[in-house]
Amino acid sequence: MVDREALRQQLMDERGRLNQEIAELDADLSESLEDSTEESPYDQHMAETAAATLDREIELTIQESARAALAQIDRALARLDSGGYGRCEKCGKPIGAARLEVAPFATLCVDCKRAEERQF
Ligand SMILES: [Zn+2]
């Protein structure tokens, strides 16, 4: 039997960590946005601007995956409350204790997860 309170705590911890990561990235991103608007359009700034753009793109990608993970944790938490936790969102089969131990926020069973990954 799954210890729901321990699980909820684990999910909430991960959620807090992700929220902090997103907030930090938000701060970085708005900072780099300010930088680029303040910068004068001289040639010597081109390389700097390109590097800043790349940084920004990397940060946006990290932020995007952090947000996706956060949404997944929220779904897992909601399912913990509704009683659907541990069942696959797609096929309704049990996700399996071994998988949940590694990925407590998993909302798909291994088979559906693989099938989803193959689509990309
Ligand atoms: Zn499934």
Give residue-wise pLDDT tens across range 60-106.
999 999 999 999 999 999 998 888 899 999 999 999 989 988 888 89
Question: Cα of 77 to ligand 1 centre, how many Å?
Answer: 18
pTM: 0.72
pLDDT at 44: 58
Whole-angstrom Cα distance, residue 120 to residue 113?
12
Question: Cα of 68 to ligand 1 centre, how many Å?
Answer: 19
List residues, by chain if needed, whose CB lies under 5 Å from ion ligand 1. 88, 90-91, 109, 112
pLDDT at 74: 94
pLDDT digits (tens, 9 = 90+) for 19-60: 999 999 999 888 876 665 555 555 556 777 888 888 889 999
Question: Cα of 33 to ligand 1 centre, how many Å?
Answer: 42
Q: If you compute the radius of gyration of the chain from its CA atoms, what whole number of angstroms results?
A: 20
Whole-angstrom Cα distance, residue 73 to residue 18?
10
Question: Cα of 114 to ligand 1 centre, how many Å?
Answer: 9
